[in-house]
Each structure stands twice: as C-alpha cells, then as structure tokens.
Chains A and B, each alone.
Chain A
Amino acid sequence: MNLVESIGAGVRDMASHRGRAVITVVGIVLGVASVVTVLALMRGGEQQSLAFFDEMGGLREIRITNRRIDHLMMTAAEKASEQLTYRDAQAIQDECSSVGYVDPEIVRFQTVSYGDKTYQMKVLGTNREYPYADTMPLGEGRWLSDKDCENYANVIVMGPTYRDDLFGDQEAIGKTILVDGVPFVVVGIMAKKEFYFQGGGAGGDRNVLEWFNRSHYIPITTMIKRFTVSDRLGGLEIAAKTVDLVPTLMEETRTLLTRRHGVEDFNLEAKSEQMQQRSEQEGFFNIIFWAIAFVSLFVGGVVIANIMLASITERIREIGVRKAIGASDRDLFMQFLVEAVVVTAAGGVVGLVVGLGLVAVVSGVLGMPTSLSPGIMLSAFLCAVGVGLVFGLFPAMKAGRLNPVEALRYE
C-alpha cells in the first residue's frame, strides 16, 4: 500500500468515525490555536519594538557618553582631557568615512518668556543634522540651517506643546521670545510626535514620545557662545551611513577620540545593542509563552495516543483480517501512523482557524500588538503534524506487531 492510498484510507476512516475524530482533535485544535496566538503575539511585540527603535532614530545610531572617572588619583592624561566637545563632533564629521550624520547635543533647562508668560523649558543646542528633523516633520516654518550655526544666529525651533499657550491664535513664526533673557526669533514649530505601546501595562495610553513635543532647539554654536561658554558635551549621537557600517564607525570613532583625548575616557554604545538587551528581556516571556503552547500540544498528543490505543483494541479483528489477506507489519504500522497524522493535520487546520479568531480577539479586544505571517501558520501546522507522528508512533507499532492468529481469535 503506498502513501497516497494510506492517506486516502486515513481520511475515509476518520470520516467514518466522526465522533471519535472530534474528541481526538480537540487537544490538537487548542494546541495549534495557542501556538498561532503565541507566535503572533511574539511577532507583534518584536515589530512594535522595531517600530519604536525606528522612531527613536533607527539602528544606525551610536551613542557616545563621557566615562566617569571614579578613582581619586587621576592620571595626567585624564586630567588633561576635556572629554567630549563640540570640536570632537566636528572632527568625527570631517574624518570618519562611515559616518552619516553627527548630532552633538547640549541640553539646558532655561527660562522662556513671551509677554507675561514664563516657562521652564528644555532647550537643546544642536545642528542642522539633528536626526529627528527627518522623521519629525515641521508643523510651521523651517528647521535650523547651516548658516544659523555658522552665524551664531539667535533663532529657535519650538516643540508644539507650548505653542498654543504662548501664542494662542496668533502667528508664531517671526515672534521674538526671551531665553534666559536673550532674545530669540521663532523660525519653526515642530509637528506633534506620538507613539503608544498597545496594551502595555504601565500607562498603555501614554504618549511615550511626549518629551519630543516639549523640547526646543537652538543652534549649538549659539548655545555655546551665549550660555555655556564651554563647548563640552554631555553626550553625542552619531549614525553610520548604513546599519552594516555601525561596527566600522565604532572603531573609527574609538581611534579618533582616543587620539584626540589621549585616553579612552568615553563609552560607545550602539542602539542595536540596546535593542538586543530589550529582546533578551522579551525572550524570557517568550519562553513562558512557548511552554504554555507546548503543554497544550503535549496534552493533545497524549489524548491522541490514548484514543488510538483504545481504537486499536476496538479494531484488533480488523488488524487480524488485514494481516490474513497479506498486510505486513509495516503496512499496518503505516496505516495507523498515517491515520494519526491525518487526524492531527485536520486538527491543525481547524486549530489555525480558531487561532486566527483568538489573535483577532487578543488584538481587537485586549488591544495587544499581534502580527501573523505565513511562516507562523506553517510552523503551527507542522507542530500538529509532528505531534501526530510522535504520539502515533507507539500505537502504530503496537498495531503492526499484533499476532494475526490472536487478533483473529479476539472477540
């Protein structure tokens, strides 16, 4: 008997024992449904993290921070180093071949006033290359220009949150505001930036990017000249031209800065490493999810083995007859194994449908991020077939090994 015929016989047998088949596959249906749901949740979570990192400036970025010197006896080189400066940022821009943009940043909380209104606001000194300028369209006006930086211009681009408070219905562009008493001309207002984590426990409906909306930007050269005087930076973000070039840029930067500082007094961290850490945390939850799905499938498999063993007892005579007319041990082994796989494959299909429904409920009603792919559906289906193979093995072996004389005599 060849495989195609075995499968046909398996399907017919299942059709003629509908009640038994339904009971048999309930476990598999639930198992496959939970595998689909778990995989869809995992993939949804990963995609949301990716999207978040993308909003945050992508995986091309490297963050450079000053390394704190925490021993009392500093070396001469350590004492001599100014640590990160705006000049370092310019040097990286000029000398590193793999760099895409450089984003030097000096952050200060400053008093901003217009008319009789006064606020404490976060002001960033930056340059034209400020990366979020690309992903964050302007609401009104224009972004900082190279000329602004060269000319130490007193211009400011404001985040949208305070715009209405300060100016109401009035035109904002062209107005002059005071930053720590220094007059600045408003040249642009950023568009509002939003990102919500679906179904997140801690304040799921909180806009995690609101801090962008509350930030204001002036040329970094103006920031240094008017306010900080020193050009030391708290931190520096740079981005490689492509994601592949991130390791190259790390090395180039390390070499350049060590030469300039005389000592390695800084830390380099790729955004992709942060991403990695985040997925490791998620991995722990994924293991728990997988364990649940695995247990459901295992239970389904045990049910199948159990019912098949019972059905073999019920069909001992059939086995004896088949052997008497020329079926070999192998023929019967194959027959019962194929029947198990046919039943679980059918359960797998039903489980997929149930799983799709569950995914719709989880993302629609509970608001958790989910994402389905053909790969997920295929692996869930293959899980079902695998369960049929593994748990059908023992009953099938038992059927194949039955002694025909005893089987024929069985009442």
Chain B
Amino acid sequence: MLIATRDLTKSYDLGAVEVQALRGVSMEISEGEYLAIMGPSGSGKSTLMHILGCLDTPSSGSYVLDGSEVSGLQGRDLARVRNKKIGFVFQNFNLLPRIDLVSNVSLPLVYHGSMGKAERAQKASEQLERLGLGHRLRHKPNELSGGERQRAAIARALVNKPSILLADEPTGNLDQKTGREIMDILDGLHREGRTVVIVTHDANVADHAHRIVRFEDGAVAEDRGNGGPR
C-alpha cells in the first residue's frame, strides 16, 4: 500500500471558533492508482491534499506514506519527504517567473542536493523534452502559453521521480482544448504506472480517474470505482 491514512483530523483554531476541516479520514491508495478527489469548496479536499502532500500536518491520526509514518514529521524531515516522494501540479502552475524552464525544473534536484549543476540541467532538459518542450528550454514562463506552462510544471513535478503525483485543479486555468491535452498527459503517466491523485470539482476531469472519492463536510462521503480513461 502506497498511502494509508487512519482517522486523520485537522482543526483550525480561529480564535473564538474551532473549525474542523477533517473529521476522521481513513483511506488507502495503492501504487499505480488513478484517483480523483471531489467535493464542494470547504469540504476538506484541499486540506487532505495538503496533508497527503506533506505541506501540512494532521491534528491527529496516522498517515503512512511508502511504508513510513509521516504524520509526526516536521520541518526539515517533512521537506525531504516532499522533495523525494511528492510531485505537485498546481492550478496556476506556480513556476518561478524570473528563471528559465530548465532552472525551474531543476529546482527539486537542487534541494535534493545529490547532483552537480550540469547533471541537473541534463535531467531537467530530458524531462522537458519528454513533455514536448525541447524547443522552450531557455524560455521564461511568461514567454509560454498556459498549456506549455502546465507541461513545464508537470516536468518539474516528475523530475525527482516521486512516488505520487498530486494535481490540484490541473486544468482550472486552461481552456477546454488545452485542458484535454493536460489530461491526456496525466492519463499517459498513469499508464506508465505512476500514482496520480487529482483534486478537482470538475466532473469531466474526475471522470479520467479509475476511482473517485467524494468529500463532504470533512469526511469521505463516497468512494467508488470509475470506468477509467476513455
């Protein structure tokens, strides 16, 4: 099992009131699964994604990622887990605007700290080429179209060979056609055997996944299989 959570809760103390964002979430994700997390805003799906992505820690409960308990980790250890095991794809791409694509995609390798500069650039360029951006290596993000930016962001998410790809509304800022291109890429990554988790409220996007988990009010309301990519 790649991911196993048990009774995850998360509450925020907003002074007078305490908000329960997650109320005991237990779920498992196997290696190679293609999963969509759905739910209205405020349902807790983003909070869960932040915890699964080790950006945030649960208030209670257990989270085992790739065989090790990560719910108690903090600071540097959590940063290492993010760096090695998680690949993030964001709705608004989140590329650094002032550096070119190779540098953007190299960043996870920089923080990984195991490679020299030339090797990092080499790895980043390969990853960009695989995503069809071989002709854009030295371009800056603002010189690219939305679809190209999202492909660069996917390249960055993949460059450290993470255990899991977490995509938060990956098509939310794209037109329909470009959105479909990005979904084709995610479908392809799944076929290569990668674990892909998409957080979305778009049913068409969610329909690409093999399993759909619906959140309501901080808990799993529905967890069902899906036909898979068309």
Q: Which A residues lie at the B interface, using CB under 8 A?
A: 1-2, 5, 12-13, 16, 317-318, 320-331, 404-405, 408
Report the minimum CB–CB distance from A339 to chain B (whole Å): 13
The contact of A330 among B76, B90, B98, B117, by CB within 8 Å, is B76
Q: Select from chain A the residue with minimum beta-carbon distance to B80.
A: A326
Hey, which chain B residues are within 8 Å of A404, CB to CB?
55-56
Q: Which residues of chain B (139-167) have a CB below 8 Å from chain A?
A: 156, 160
Q: Which B residues lie at the A interface, using CB under 8 A?
A: 50, 53, 55-56, 75-76, 79-80, 82-84, 88, 90, 94-96, 98-99, 107-108, 110-113, 117, 156, 160
The contact of B83 among A2, A321, A326, by CB within 8 Å, is A326
How far, in angstroms, from A16 to B99 measured CA to CA in the complex? 9
Report the minimum CB–CB distance from B110 to chain A (whole Å): 5
Q: Are A408 and B90 in contact (CB under 8 A)?
A: yes
Q: Select from chain A the residue with minimum beta-carbon distance to B112.
A: A326
Q: Are B111 and A1 in contact (CB under 8 A)?
A: yes
The contact of B55 among A317, A328, A331, A405, by CB within 8 Å, is A405
Q: Are B111 and A16 in contact (CB under 8 A)?
A: no
In the assembled complex, 29 residue pairs joining A and B whose CB atoms fall closer than 8 Å, in A order, are A1-B110, A5-B117, A12-B99, A13-B98, A16-B98, A318-B96, A321-B94, A321-B95, A322-B96, A323-B55, A324-B55, A324-B94, A325-B88, A325-B107, A326-B79, A326-B80, A326-B83, A326-B108, A326-B111, A326-B112, A327-B83, A327-B111, A328-B79, A328-B80, A328-B111, A329-B79, A330-B76, A404-B56, A405-B50
How far, in angstroms, from A324 to B117 measured CA to CA in the complex? 21
How far, in angstroms, from A22 to B50 measured CA to CA in the complex? 39
Report the minimum CB–CB distance from A407 to chain B (whole Å): 9
Report the minimum CB–CB distance from B65 to chain A (whole Å): 14
Hey, which chain A residues are within 8 Å of B76, CB to CB?
328-330
Please judge, given known A-B contacts A323-B79, A325-B83, whether A405 and B56 are in contact too, CB under 8 Å.
yes
A interface, over-half SS: helix
Q: Are A317 and B113 in contact (CB under 8 A)?
A: no
Hey, which chain B residues are within 8 Å of A326, CB to CB?
79-80, 82-84, 108, 111-112, 160
Hey, which chain B residues are within 8 Å of A13, CB to CB?
98
How far, in angstroms, from A16 to B142 measured CA to CA in the complex? 15
Q: Are A325 and B113 in contact (CB under 8 A)?
A: no
Q: Are B113 and A2 in contact (CB under 8 A)?
A: yes
Hey, which chain A residues are within 8 Å of B112, CB to CB?
326
How far, in angstroms, from A216 to B125 measured CA to CA in the complex? 90
Hey, which chain B residues are within 8 Å of A317, CB to CB?
94
Hey, which chain A residues are within 8 Å of B94, CB to CB?
317, 320-321, 324, 408
Hey, which chain A residues are within 8 Å of B96, CB to CB?
318, 321-322
Extra contacts, 12 of them, besides A323-B82, A326-B84 (Cβ < 8 A), are A323-B79, A324-B82, A324-B88, A325-B88, A325-B107, A326-B80, A326-B83, A328-B79, A330-B76, A331-B79, A331-B111, A408-B94
Report the minimum CB–CB distance from B210 to chain A (whole Å): 26
Q: Are A325 and B156 in contact (CB under 8 A)?
A: yes
How far, in angstroms, from A405 to B56 measured CA to CA in the complex? 7
Q: Are A5 and B75 in contact (CB under 8 A)?
A: no
Hey, which chain A residues are within 8 Å of B75, CB to CB?
328-329
The contact of B110 among A5, A318, A330, A408, by CB within 8 Å, is A5
